[in-house]
Amino acid sequence: QVHLVESGGGLVQAGGSLKLSCVVSGRTFRSFNMGWFRQAPGKEREFVAKIGSGFSTDYADSVKGRFSISRDNVKNTVYLQMNSLKPEDTAVYYCAATARYFSDLQRRPDYDYWGQGTQVTVSS
């Protein structure tokens, strides 16, 4: 069984920062490609960022230059550093994992394992 547990969400004012963490257990973490997605009320879950097993990264246009994804293969953890937060970043943030390879890893079906989500609320 693979388990993903997110933490680090909370309430922050616009312009502030938060760092999300996702700890993975149950399988060799370094073999996983990891992603962050988010879902705002009434909206579809959308791609935010990904980091491959080889440390390649990619971001949604809406967060480029503000968010940074990283991973620590010793701590079995993936991070999402979020800076210059905006009210439109308010959502439940989910981490996801897959050992499969896809060209962009930006689609929900690309991932096999999901965390329970952590709420991020940005006030104006």
Please report the pLDDT score of residue 56 as a whole number: 95
Please report the pLDDT score of residue 102 as a whole number: 82
pLDDT tens per residue, range 49-60: 999 999 999 999
pLDDT(28) > 90:
no
Alpha-carbon distance 84 to 124, whole Å? 12
Please report the pLDDT score of residue 104 as a whole number: 85
The residue-averaged pLDDT of 107-118 equals 96
* Predicted confidence band of residue 91 (pLDDT cuts 50, 70, 90): very high
